[in-house]
């Protein structure tokens, strides 16, 4: 069993229900106090979630990540937005979510 799992930049290829299913399947691989760390692009606060039909990639809001975590049986224990020294408006913010078992 693992203390933590780190998932970066791939969850956007799953729709919400498939992501919930994946997180549920990962639960038994974690130790009792294990964590899942997710690092992914998010839309800015107040923006609508996006779907890129060419890449088949979802860019979610923070609220959607919280809902998905809750539906999968996790609690978000940390939520942090990457702070770039030079903010490029065209780039989406990167957020890190740390999930713990409920």
Q: What is the pLDDT of residues 11-53, one digit of tens each?
A: 999 999 999 999 999 999 999 999 999 999 998 878 899 999 9
| Nearest Cα to Cα of residue 26 among 42, 16, 37, 15 | 37
pLDDT top residue among 28 and 86: 28
Calpha distance 68→29 (Å, rounded):
19
Q: Where are the domains of the chain?
A: 2-92
Which CATH number is 2-92 given? Answer: 3.40.50.150
pLDDT at 4 over 70: yes
More confident residue, 64 or 84: 64
């Amino acid at each position: 069993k693992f203390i933590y799992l780190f998932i970066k930049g791939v969850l956007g290829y799953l729709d919400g229900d498939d992501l919930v299913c994946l997180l549920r399947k990962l639960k038994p691989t974690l130790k009792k106090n294990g964590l899942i760390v997710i690092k992914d692009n998010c839309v800015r606060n107040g923006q609508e979630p996006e779907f890129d039909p060419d890449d088949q990639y979802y860019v979610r809001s923070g609220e959607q990540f919280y809902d998905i975590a809750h539906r999968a049986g996790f609690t978000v224990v940390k939520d942090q937005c990457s702070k770039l020294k030079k903010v490029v408006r065209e780039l989406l913010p990167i957020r890190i979510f740390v999930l713990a078992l409920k």
